[in-house]
Amino acid sequence: MRVQFPLQPSVDPAFMSNHLKFHHSWRESLSVVLQPQVWVMLLLGFSAGLPIMLIFSSLSIWLLEAGIQKSEVTYFSWAALGYSFKFVWAPLVDRVPIPWLTRAFGARRSWMLLAQFGIISAILLMAVTDPAQGQSAVLVMAMAAVLLGFSSATQDIVIDAYRIEAADADMQAMMSATYIAGYRLGMIVTGAGALYLAAYFGTTREHYLYEAWRMTHLIIPLFMLVGVATAFWIKEPAVIKRDYDRFANTDYVRLCALFVLAATGFVATFFWGGQGIAQLKASVPGMGGHLSAFLLEVLRFSAAVTIAFGLAWGLVAMGVASRELVVVSYLEPIRNFLYTYGTRTTVILLCLVSLFRISDVVLGVISNIFYTEMGFSKEEIATAVKLFGVWMTILGGFLGGVLTMRFGVMLMLAVSAILVVATNLCFILLAQTGHDVYVLYGVVSADNLAAGIASASFIAFLSALVNVRFTAMQYAIFSSLMTLIPKLTAGYSGSIVEALGYVPFFTITGLLGLPVLFFIYLAAKHLELAQAGTETPD
């Protein structure tokens, strides 16, 4: 039996600023927790959080136990590149119907099921592959990891689109809170759970046992059935009628072929560029410095993007794909956003999206090193950060959802930005007190609570920005953009600490959050003007 709750379309961006100012009563804000839509997102979040830790955690340990060189193990992290480039194939999720599935289940549920079966297939392929059997087995494992990363990122695209389309804007903060809670629980299952299972079945670093990893990866897909059952259970959002008959089936096939060819060009250039950079660093003195390494990586990425774009442009010019379908899928979502908000407001919004998470991301990449150097043991770090901290993030998400409904998105964005700055500065206290477990728990509590509140309000803000005609594409751009600059900046965290020490570093990460407050003020001002009709699109 499917969930029969009423599905309302997300707010149109032209009236978005009204929905950023809603002020529900405390009773209304708390009662939304009981809505079925909210708890559906807990189940979908669990399904979304399961695959990521297989790539970033347990897979690397498996490969090391199997005797794979560290240099090869790190290549597998590229399988997660899809999370940063979701916007590249998000238009396919918005525009392309899946034979039989779309007719039977609708646009969102059909893509959700396809992504989930892709995840299950990738994990099962890992289960039947022993990387210790040689390079051919390692290649198969790499292909499985790429399929896992691509399918997982696709599932994220679809679930985000479903969440936005399944309820109105004032419920997005609470829905994002339950989604985050489910996501974290899924990460625990495949992060810690996979390692516990592998150890239980008898594999260790000293005594590698393939059968243990095989059994582990045969069990994990069973948890994915939670997401599959939910996709069957829920009802397709009735947002807009998708005119799939506007283009022929062959046009959709050619569009998918265009994406595959362009993606192949990007991956090939990126891979060969990495080998070239490694050879250049080894042969040319002075090329191993931080600045030169950064510039080489920028050049490598730029070359890969140029090749992919050039391939796509050339193939469209040759008629391999329908030019009209490419325009509708890739250009119309961008044109729509620019037309809706205007150039000036768009620039402000993109700056806000790009910088909102910079403080916590820059600090987060070095936090475990900091805890270790303060004298905390692995067990203390695991309990405080990985266990207690996760529950504080979940609590913060629910608190952020309720407060956002009560006081509005823009106010809670500003409050959460101030909280992030303040909690970053709290790390100075831990740096000065050293090994003090009570201070550690206090700082971790404050940091994760603020992060949960910020995530709920920020996701509600992003959800209100998108047009339901282009949900997947526009939101995928935001979700990719919000980590790009923070992650690039975070690469220098270690260098800053080595040069200045921890106290100045935490001061800097706190100050990095101040420009966010300025952009929140500008965004609120310009969105208010746009809604009042006194500011027109540029």
In contact, 361 and 487? CB cutoff 8 Å: yes
Instruction: For residue 8, name the pLDDT band (cuts at 50, 70, 90).
Output: very low
- What is the DSSP annotation of 15-74? GHHHHTS----HHHHHHGGG-HHHHHHHHHHHHHHTTHHIIIIIHHHHHHHTT--HHHHH
* Residue 349 included in any domain: yes
Instruction: For residue 496, name the pLDDT band (cuts at 50, 70, 90).
Output: confident
Is 88 in the same domain as 200?
A: yes
Is 128 in the same domain as 218?
A: yes
Six-digit token string for 538: 């540029």
* Residue 266 included in any domain: yes
Q: Domain range for residue 356?
A: 342-532
Six-digit token string for 280: 């250049």
Instruction: For residue 52, name the pLDDT band (cuts at 50, 70, 90).
Output: confident
What distance in Å separates the CA atoms of residue 445 and residue 447, rounded to the nearest whole number?
6
Q: List the single range of 149-163, 305-319, 362-376, 444-458 with lowest mean pLDDT.
A: 362-376
Is 302 in the same domain as 364?
A: no
User: Which of 205, 220, 244 marks a domain boundary?
Assistant: 244
Of 227, 221, 79, give the one whose Cα is nearest residue 156: 227
Question: Mean pLDDT across the stretch 509-515?
Answer: 88
Instruction: For residue 53, name the pLDDT band (cuts at 50, 70, 90).
Output: confident
Looking at the predicted structure, is the pLDDT value of residue 14 above 50?
Answer: no
Is 266 in the same domain as 381?
A: no
* Residue 383 included in any domain: yes
Instruction: For residue 28, name the pLDDT band (cuts at 50, 70, 90).
Output: low
Cα within 13 Å of Cα(473), Cβ side: 22
Of 405, 403, 426, give the one whose Cα is nearest residue 416: 403
Phi, psi torsion values for 202, nearest 5 degrees: 110, 5
Is 393 in the same domain as 417?
A: yes
Looking at the predicted structure, is the pLDDT value of residue 1 above 50?
Answer: no
* Residue 353 included in any domain: yes
Top mean-pLDDT range of 68-82, 504-518, 522-536: 504-518
Instruction: For residue 300, name the pLDDT band (cuts at 50, 70, 90).
Output: confident
Give alpha helix (H) positions in 318-436.
Answer: 323-326, 332-355, 358-373, 378-381, 389-407, 409-433
User: Which of 286, 321, 356 marks a domain boundary?
Assistant: 321
For 245-288, the pLDDT digits (tens) are 888 889 999 999 999 999 888 878 877 876 676 676 667 666 65
pLDDT at 450: 92
In contact, 406 and 26? CB cutoff 8 Å: yes
Is 166 in the same domain as 106?
A: yes
Phi, psi torsion values for 393, nearest 5 degrees: -65, -40
Six-digit token string for 70: 């560290």
* Residue 482 included in any domain: yes
Top-confidence residue, 299 or 113: 113
Six-digit token string for 30: 């708390």
What distance in Å separates the CA atoms of residue 231 and residue 214, rounded to the nearest whole number?
27
* Residue 152 included in any domain: yes
If one counts the domains in the chain, the total is: 3
* Residue 404 included in any domain: yes
Q: Tell me, what DSSP letter sits at residue 383?
A: I
Is 453 in the same domain as 485?
A: yes
Looking at the predicted structure, is the pLDDT value of residue 294 above 50?
Answer: yes
Q: Tell me, what DSSP letter sits at residue 96?
A: P
pLDDT at 22: 54
Give the torsion through C-alpha atoms of 389, 391, 394, 395, to 10 deg. -100
* Residue 334 included in any domain: no
| Greatest C-alpha distance within the chain | 70
The helix/strand/coil state of 359 is helix
Looking at the predicted structure, is the pLDDT value of residue 229 above 50?
Answer: yes
pLDDT at 27: 67
What distance in Å separates the CA atoms of residue 507 and residue 421, rounded to the nearest whole number?
9
pLDDT > 70: percent of the chain: 85
Is 506 in the same domain as 397?
A: yes
The mean pLDDT value of the chain amounts to: 83
Q: List the single range of 176-180, 219-223, 229-233, 519-523 with lowest mean pLDDT.
A: 176-180
User: Which of 244, 267, 298 marks a domain boundary?
Assistant: 244
Is 195 in the same domain as 280?
A: no
All residues at 6 or more sequence positions from 425 whose CB lies less than 8 Å from its CB, including other chains:
506, 507, 510
Of 478, 396, 454, give the one whose Cα is nearest residue 157: 478
All residues at 6 or more sequence positions from 100 whose CB lies less than 8 Å from its CB, including other chains:
none
Is 279 in the same domain as 417?
A: no
Question: Mean pLDDT across the stretch 372-378?
Answer: 83
CATH number of the structural domain spanning residue 84:
1.20.1250.20
What distance in Å separates the CA atoms of residue 434 and residue 436, rounded to the nearest whole number?
6
What distance in Å separates the CA atoms of residue 517 and residue 201, rounded to the nearest whole number?
51
Is 310 in the same domain as 432?
A: no
Sign of CA dihedral 298, 299, 304, 307: positive
Is 519 in the same domain as 442?
A: yes
Backbone dihedral region for residue 533 (phi beyond 0: left; psi -120 to 50: alpha; all else: beta): left
What distance in Å separates the CA atoms of residue 47 and residue 117, rounded to the nearest whole number?
12
In contact, 8 and 185? CB cutoff 8 Å: no
What distance in Å separates the CA atoms of residue 122 and residue 106, rounded to the nearest whole number?
24
